[in-house]
Amino acid sequence: MVSTELEKTIMVEDVQKIIERSVPQSTVYVLDPMNDGRHLQAIVVSPAFKGVPLVQQHQMVMKPLQETLKNRLHALGLKTFTPERWDKVNGRYEV
């Protein structure tokens, strides 16, 4: 179980780095709204999502995270956007 503030910070940074390496030209925001390091939310913006169905967008993000974080992360809420869509909706999110 993630318990210290340092461990929580490392978890958020790990998730962000893995997503950034896996999704081309991505901007990634990882939040820890419960402040427990195990229930995270990620917003991923990338032109690589253009024309890709939502399920496949989420698979692009989740697949690289599965093995690395399988015993460390309990839940990841995920939102994916193209840059054009993000420009229209970003005011709805606190990042």
Domains in the chain: how many in total?
1
Which CATH number characterizes residue 19's domain? 3.30.300.90
pLDDT one-digit tens code per residue, 50-66: 999 999 999 999 999 98
Q: Is residue 54 part of a domain?
A: yes
The answer to the question of residue 10 being in a domain is yes
- Top-confidence residue, 40 or 1: 40
- Tell me whether residue 35 is in a domain: yes
> Is residue 95 in a domain?
no
Domain contains 38? yes
Identify whether 20 is part of a domain: yes
Range of the domain at 76: 5-89
pLDDT tens-digit readout, 22-31 = 999 999 999 9
Q: Do 74 and 66 meet the contact criterion of CB atoms below 8 Å apart?
A: no
For 5, 12, 18, 30, 58, the CA distances from 36, given in Å and listed in that order, are 9, 10, 20, 13, 23
